[in-house]
Structure 1
């Protein structure tokens, strides 16, 4: 005769007379799965992943500047009252004393106020995540200072590049007065 311990005794169930399965017996039984191979419980809990569109900053450099940056910068400066803005992307030497022998780099050049005010945003590596600088010049003079531009950011975005120019020009007192 086999003795049954309290652990191995299955209590009787109400109605139906079926005995509950032990944990080992339940684990051994196959679980019904869908055609995809997922159990019904798993399938309903996991929503399908939505694919994000690629960020505009992931575009090739020239395409990003022409299609996204220049229009956004034009709009931001127009909102600040700049009406006759001309923006161009050019590849040229840096027109600052001491940089005559430096190689050419891509520059976003903005002119307004009848050409009397100009700023240049320099992209040394043709990459918005690479090294950048800015210079400002007034009344047709030659720029004398090259300043680092948006340098403390881990990831540079379109909004950050636009805000950086607006902030710098506002610091120059070209957009609003105190």
Structure 2
């Protein structure tokens, strides 16, 4: 049995009509991919995070509290009070008040300690810093450091 020209035309029309519908379904199923989430500052390498994110944020916060740092830098050297090599955020504030935020290794999740020194004195006490926190991020490091400095009454009376 051979097809009549009418049946052949109907068959080709129905196959053409079916193709756009299939293409529409394929297009709607292939939605554009969501952009990758912006990486968190904490995911950067240690030195990049400290220099690019933490130090500028601290400088701004200290300046807002009328304690613009005279010096604020990341250094590797001898830990205050107890010695031993470590990474430190060293800060010198007006009136020669100094602080050292020490990291046991080049990771923001490593153990941290803090030492403080009033004008004309050397640090005499090394305190644990953020020991109970499971997730360390920029906001937490900044706020707790400022809280600790404020506890010394370095931002005025409490």
Q: Indicate whether the TM-score tops 0.5.
A: yes
Q: 1:118 aligns with which of 79, 95, 98?
A: 98
How many residues are paired up? Answer: 138
* TM-score of the two chains, using structure 1 as the length reference: 0.69
Q: 1 or 2, which has the higher helix percentage? A: 2
Cα distance, 1:34 vs structure 2: 4.3
Distance in 2, Cα, partners of 1:146 & 1:163:
19
2:36 is paired with a residue whose SS is coil
Cα RMSD, aligned residues only: 2.2
Whether 1:163 and 2:146 are equivalent positions in the alignment is no
* TM-score of the two chains, using structure 2 as the length reference: 0.78
Q: 1:70 aligns with which of 55, 62, 71?
A: 55
Gaps of 5+ in 2: 1-20
- 1:63-89 superposed Cα distances (whole Å, 9 cap, x missing partner): 111111110000011111113431011
Residue pair 2:72, 2:92 contacting (<8 A) in 1 also: yes
Query: Partner residue of 1:128?
Result: 108
Whether 1:79 and 2:60 are equivalent positions in the alignment is no
**After TM superposition, what 4+ stretches of structure 1 lie above 4 angstroms from structure 2?**
32-35, 37-40
Q: 1 or 2, which has the higher strand percentage? A: 2
Gaps of 5+ in 1: 1-31
Query: Partner residue of 1:94?
Result: 79
Distance in 2, Cα, partners of 1:84 & 1:51:
36
